[in-house]
Chain A
Amino acid sequence: MIPVFAHIGDEHGRRRSVARRTADAVGGAVRELLQNEDLAMGPGLMQSLDPRVRLTTVLALAVTASLVRSVWVLAAVFVATMVVAAASRVDVGAFVRRVWASAGLFAVLLAAPAATSWFTPGRALVTLGPLTITAPGLAIAVRLVARVAAGAGVGLLVVWTTRWTDIMRALTSWHVPDVVVAIFAMTQQQIVTLMRTVEGTHLARESRMLSEGSTAETRGWVVERMAFTARKSLKTADDVYDAMLARGYSGAWPSIVRLRTRGRDWLWLCGCAAFSAAVIGADKLVAR
């Protein structure tokens, strides 16, 4: 939530340059997207389901996780996402690491103060000088972390097992306006193109610069790169429009790709509904 990340150094103890960090982040995002593409086209539980069923599953699990009160039941939901991930040929270790890095760590930092007597008075568990961790405070903090982890796990399921192409097909069959689907599809394509450009220019700077310039100089360069990206975006918008016209664009985006559900899709949906009901029921019992 707070968009400041202090990077002290990389694993070799050397501080990476600003250009290197952006290049790594952007290049990493492109590579992950392409890896997800391969993973999502491969065999696996989620992959074998209709994309609409996958999206429904993920939405249902996300809502379920948000309704649960008990930490134990939340943990069970997270374990369930791990099981589905494993059945979808996802590396569970990478799955857990990613959940931790993308949301878990931050949730722990954010929840920590709530565990103390400053924010949550109650029975003291541990006292370290002025710092007192209270039982209800710890419960609040742990619950938040468990809930965030469960939610991030659910989100990662769709990210890692469902291609953007398939999400577009699901949206089309759900009668989302074709213009919206067209914008989404085109955006994803152009994100990859722009990210490759950004990675290239940042790597080029990295290879040219022997040492990092002053903060002001580097910032000036980054801002100039942003302006370049803005110009390139607007130019590309014109070019894409020309390309649309050249291919006879008439104002509509018809699609003739059809999705078909099979028996297993409905079976899975029923299973999902039963799981959600069981989770909420168990939560009622546990968190009475």
Chain B
Amino acid sequence: MHIPDGYLGPQTYAVIDVAILPVWAAAASRVRRTLKSRQVPLMALGAAFSFVLMMFNVPVFGGTTAHAVGAVLIAVLLGPWAACLSVSTAIVIQALAFGDGGITAIGANCLNMAVVMPFVGFAIYRLVSGPAPSLRRKIAASGLGAYLGLVAASISAGIEFGLQPLLAHDAAGHALYAPYSLAVAVPSMAVTHLVVGLLEAAVTMGVVAALARSDPALVAMRPASRPLTWLWAGLGALILLTPVGLLASGSAWGEWAPAAVKGMVGYMPAGLQRMSGAWTAAMPDYAPAFIKDPVVGYVAAALTGAALIAAIVWLVGIALSRRDDASPVPTDDEEPS
């Protein structure tokens, strides 16, 4: 997930590096308010934990191992703002002291792993937990949060990659930085992480469960203000942003034969293609031409996908709340210790 230097052009990294500063400032002021003078050691240990967590080899199958990011786990333990600062600190140290991840790409890496991932993941965790979750439900919620948080982070990285050929090319129209368009980069990142995310979810659930056994106060729910509003706002923004990117890349899409893309990367944009084809086919002949445009089909596909995710989150939330109606309300603990 760490983007090295060289993949993102200056237009992208400069904007993100600058845009991340106010996010850090907001997170810092939020953390200072909630943790007061304890913020320094707690953020430092959160960052050190985040750093070390990423180094654990976790067995997947047949001797293969993978690493977890852990941003949602930290968000569950310390809150999303603290997770944002902790993971950001770890990323800066990885880049400057260990040579992992690019220096110009620090902003982008922080945006993906320290902003998108913990906030999306934590929002889903809150949503699925509901107001009075049982432990089992919180564990399930943390897993789903970690899964979708990682997928969201990978989509964010995919968008950053996919924008490169649009933003910068030489006189002949050839990419100067990451060479794949949005239509390739986003799905390949997303699909890969739909698989890798299973491990992230398993690890997050396992650690949350183990901590809950030894010290229930650690995973006590913090009261959050308006969690649902900003969750839906965030999801809405994602849904809106994806088509904007696709519209921008509309011309680039046609350059590549879907079969070749499929063979090469091993994912199924063809599935999406079919969806857009189905869309076009479903439109009556008298519909205005722009509706039949494959780009519109893409937008429809993206909206359908997002709606599907939202529906799953919602249904899982309902199913879990039915089962756990009788569970006791956990105590709130603002400051874990």
Please say whether chains A and B are actual partners in one complex. Answer: yes
* B97 located at the interface, meaning its Cβ lies under 8 Å from any Cβ of chain A in the complex: yes
Chain A residues near B58: list those with CB within 8 A: 18, 219, 222-223
A33 to chain B: closest CB distance in Å? 7
Which residues on B sit within 8 Å (CB–CB) of A253? 40
A215 to B65: give the CA distance in the assembly, Å: 10
**What residues of A have a CB within 8 angstroms of the CB of B55 in the complex?**
22, 25-26, 29, 195, 198
Is B52 a contact of A198 with CB atoms below 8 Å? yes
Contact of A152 (CB < 8 Å), options: B5, B51, B97, B202? B5
Report the Cα distance A65→B97, complex, angstroms.
20
Chain A residues whose CB sits within 8 angstroms of the CB of B62 once the complex forms? 215
Chain B residues with Cβ below 8 Å from A32 are 98
Number of A-B contacts (CB under 8 A): 288
Chain B positions near chain A (C-beta within 8 angstroms): 1-10, 13, 28, 32, 37-49, 51-53, 55-69, 73, 77, 85, 89-90, 92-93, 95-100, 102-104, 157, 170, 172, 174-180, 184, 189, 192, 196, 202-203, 206-207, 210-211, 214-215, 218, 255-257, 260-261, 263-265, 336-337
How far does the alpha carbon of A57 sit from the alpha carbon of B257 in the complex, in Å?
A: 44
Is A215 within 8 A of B60, CB to CB? yes
Contact between chains at A151 and B104 (CB < 8 Å): yes
CA distance A158 to B101 in the complex (A): 13
B65 near A3: Cβ-Cβ < 8 Å? no
- Do A136 and B174 touch (CB < 8 A)? yes
In whole angstroms, how far apart are the Cα atoms of A219 and B203 in the complex?
8
Q: Let me know if A172 is at the binding interface, CB within 8 A.
A: no
A 183-207 contacts with B by CB, 8 A: 183-184, 186-191, 193-195, 198
Residues of B within 8 A of A121 (CB): 255
CB-CB < 8 A to B180: which residues of A? 113-114, 119
| Chain B residues whose C-beta falls within 8 Å of the C-beta of A58 in the assembled complex | 103
Shortest CB-to-CB span from B232 to chain A, Å, is: 29
User: Cβ of A150: which chain B residues have Cβ within 8 Å of it?
Assistant: 6
Other-chain residue from B64, B67, B98 in contact with A6 (beta carbon distance below 8 A): B64
Closest to A162 in B: B96
Pick the contact of B103: A25, A59, A69, A194 (CB < 8 A): A59
CA gap between A8 and B64 in the complex, in Å: 8
B150 to chain A, nearest CB (A): 9
- B4 touching A187 by the CB < 8 A rule? no
Is there a chain B Cβ closer than 8 Å to A44's Cβ? no
Question: At the interface, yes or no: A98 with Cβ under 8 Å from chain B?
Answer: yes
On chain A, the number of residues with a Cβ less than 8 Å from chain B's Cβ atoms is 99
Residue pairs across A and B with Cβ atoms less than 8 A apart, 28 shown, are: A3-B66, A3-B67, A4-B64, A5-B65, A18-B57, A18-B59, A21-B65, A33-B98, A66-B13, A106-B4, A113-B264, A114-B179, A119-B180, A147-B177, A151-B5, A152-B5, A154-B5, A155-B99, A184-B89, A184-B93, A187-B45, A187-B48, A187-B89, A190-B44, A190-B45, A195-B55, A215-B62, A240-B44
| Interface pair B93/A113, CB less than 8 Å apart | no
Closest to A106 in B: B4
A59 to B102, CA, bound (A): 11
In the complex, A63 Cα to B49 Cα: how many Å? 31
B215 CB contact (under 8 Å) in A69, A117, A231: A231
Contacts A4-B64, A179-B39, A227-B206 known; 8 new A-B pairs at CB < 8 A: A6-B65, A62-B102, A143-B176, A154-B103, A158-B96, A184-B93, A223-B206, A237-B46
Interface string of A50-69 (1 = CB under 8 A from B): 00000000110011011101
Query: A interface vs B, CB < 8 Å?
Result: 1-8, 15, 18, 21-22, 25-26, 29, 32-33, 36, 58-59, 62-63, 65-67, 69, 98, 102-103, 106-107, 111, 113-114, 116-121, 136, 139-141, 143-144, 147-152, 154-156, 158-159, 164, 167, 179-180, 182-184, 186-191, 193-195, 198, 215, 218-220, 222-227, 229-231, 233-234, 236-238, 240-241, 244, 249, 251, 253, 287
Q: In the complex the two chains form, is A22's CB within 8 Å of B100's CB?
A: no
Q: Residue of B at shortest CB range from A249?
A: B37
Check if A167 sits within 8 Å of B5, measured CB to CB: no
Q: How far is the CB of A75 from chain B (nearest CB, A)?
A: 13
Q: Is the CB of B172 within 8 A of A2?
A: no
What are the residues of chain B within 8 A of A191 when measuring CB–CB? 47-48, 51-52, 93
The docked-state distance in angstroms from the alpha carbon of A67 to that of B178 is 14
Complex partner residue of A140 from B59, B60, B174, B192, CB under 8 angstroms: B174
Residues of A contacting B265 in the complex (Cβ-Cβ under 8 angstroms): 113
B40 in contact with A183 (CB, 8 Å)? yes
Cα distance A150–B100 in the bound complex, in angstroms = 14
B47 and A187 within 8 A (CB): yes
Q: Which of A2, A5, A182, A195 contacts B40 (CB 8 A)?
A: A182
Residues of A within 8 A of B90 (CB): 187
A158 touching B103, Cβ below 8 Å: yes
Q: A18-B65, A67-B10, A234-B336 are in contact. Are A188 and B103 (CB under 8 A)?
A: no
Please tell me if the beta carbons of A144 and B57 are within 8 angstroms of each other in the complex.
no
Alpha-carbon distance A247/B261, docked complex (angstroms): 62
- A118 and B45 in contact, given A111-B179, A144-B179 (Cβ under 8 angstroms): no
Contact assessment for B49 and A224 in the assembled complex, using a CB-CB cutoff below 8 Å:
no
Cross-chain contact A118 with B178 (CB below 8 angstroms): no
By beta carbon, the residue of chain B nearest A115 is B179
Residues of A with C-beta under 8 A to B178: 144
Chain A to chain B: the 5 pairs with minimum beta-carbon distance, closest first = A151-B5, A223-B206, A227-B210, A118-B260, A186-B44
Interface centre among A136, A155, A229, A251 (most CB of B within 10 A): A155
The answer to whether A141 and B179 touch (CB under 8 A), given A2-B196, A25-B57, A234-B218, is yes
